Amino acid sequence: MSKAFASQADLEEKQVSFTQLSPHAWAYTAEGDPNTGIVIGDDAVMVIDTQATPAMAQDVIRRIREVTDKPIKYVVLSHYHAVRVLGASAYRPEHIIASHDTLDLIQERGEQDKASEIGRFPRLFRNVDSVPPGLTWPTLTFSGKMTLWLGSLEVQLLQLGRGHTKGDTVVWLPAERILFSGDLVEFDATPYAGDAYFSDWPQTLDNIAALQPLQLVPGRGAALQNEAAVAAGLAGTRSFIADVYAAVQAGAAAGQDLKTVYRQTLDAVRPKYGHWVIFDHCMPFDVSRAYDEATAHRDPRIWTAERDIAMWKALEQ
């Protein structure tokens, strides 16, 4: 029997945790489903990654309102993926902030990505009809670094290199040494690398480590609340990316086709990572992208709903 496409068979609801990390930082996590970060400054609230739909974002807002009545002024998009951005309208923010590289990707492939992601993982797009027509557009963009002051609280938005996408942005609270990584770091969850830069990602993780975060909110998985946990999250993500890319590069260098490389890579990495959530969902996309990067495509090709299905059929049947 063939595997259900992507995560279409994943229907079990997750338990949400809303964890206070410091006087200013909170983590909304959900057992491996996409996380949202919250920063509460003197005069305003910042939300980092929105959840997949406005209906799902309402649960984030409900929890924020249990701890503060300050206005939600800023939404930061760590990257362009639909599951991170399509809930933005629920917060009615003054500004939606993203890197200019993320804006490029929204312009270039936002529509295709929206259709593709909704098809892959219906459970993550609960009440998808609450998403307004069109895309989520930033109102402020930056390149490299942007600093916001929420009253006396300094919040840095940083591009530390490419990895999960071309436009990855992390949010850094220097006084408390807390970092919100987006999907650059995952914990007990499989990194999705279908739009990734495998050769750049490890250096970007080193750049995160160089900040010496005391706590880190990953894109998926529990908040990492001490330096040992942060180190474990960085090391796990780094080794997965390195192991997948090494296996794919070896197969590509030997002239093997994608399906052969896929099977070999799956066998090579399943013992170490097969228990991480969304492993079976991610692997066909991750290996396809790694094979592209190891052969003919420096930049990720656009996934469409049609390309998703064609790839899945080619690799899984």
Binding interface with Zn ion (CB under 5 A)? 81, 183
Could you tell me the two tokens for 254? 């030997």
For the chain, first and last CA: distance in Å? 9
Nearest residue (CB) to Zn ion, 101 versus 183: 183
Judge contact between 145 and 114, C-beta under 8 A.
no
For Zn ion, the closer of residues 40 and 76 by Cβ is 76
Amino acid at 299: D
Instruction: Return the H-helix or E-strand segment holding 230.
Output: helix 227-253
Give the nearer residue to Zn ion in terms of CB position, either 59 or 195.
Answer: 195
What is the chain's alpha carbon radius of gyration, rounded to the nearest angstrom?
A: 19
Alpha carbon distance 265, 287 (integer Å) = 8
| 222 backbone φψ class: left, alpha, beta (φ>0; ψ -120 to 50) | beta
Q: How far is the CB of 125 from Zn ion (least distance, A)?
A: 14
Count of Cβ atoms closer than 10 Å to residue 210 Cβ: 9
CB of 66 to Zn ion, least distance (A): 27
Residue type (1 letter), 198: F
Largest Cα separation within the chain, whole Å, is: 60
Tokens linked to 288:
């396809």
CB of 226 to Zn ion, least distance (A): 25
CA 243, 83, 144, 226 torsion-angle sign: negative
**Structure tokens that stand for 41 in this block:** 């400054």
Minimal distance, residue 33 CB to Zn ion, in Å = 12
Q: In this chain, which residue has its C-beta nearest to Zn ion?
A: 81
The number of angstroms, rounded, from the C-alpha of 147 to the middle of its chain's C-alpha atoms is 22
Q: Which is nearer to Zn ion, 73 or 84 (CB)?
A: 84
Instruction: Give the nearest distance from C-beta 94 to Zn ion in angstroms.
Output: 25
Please state the closest distance from residue 181 (CB atom) to Zn ion, in A.
11
Residue placing its CB nearer to Zn ion in the complex, 183 or 293: 183
At its nearest, how many Å lie between Zn ion and the CB of residue 61?
Answer: 22
Q: Smaller CB distance to Zn ion: residue 183 or 308?
A: 183
The residue (of 193 and 261) whose beta carbon lies closer to Zn ion is 193
Query: How many residues are given for the chain?
Result: 317
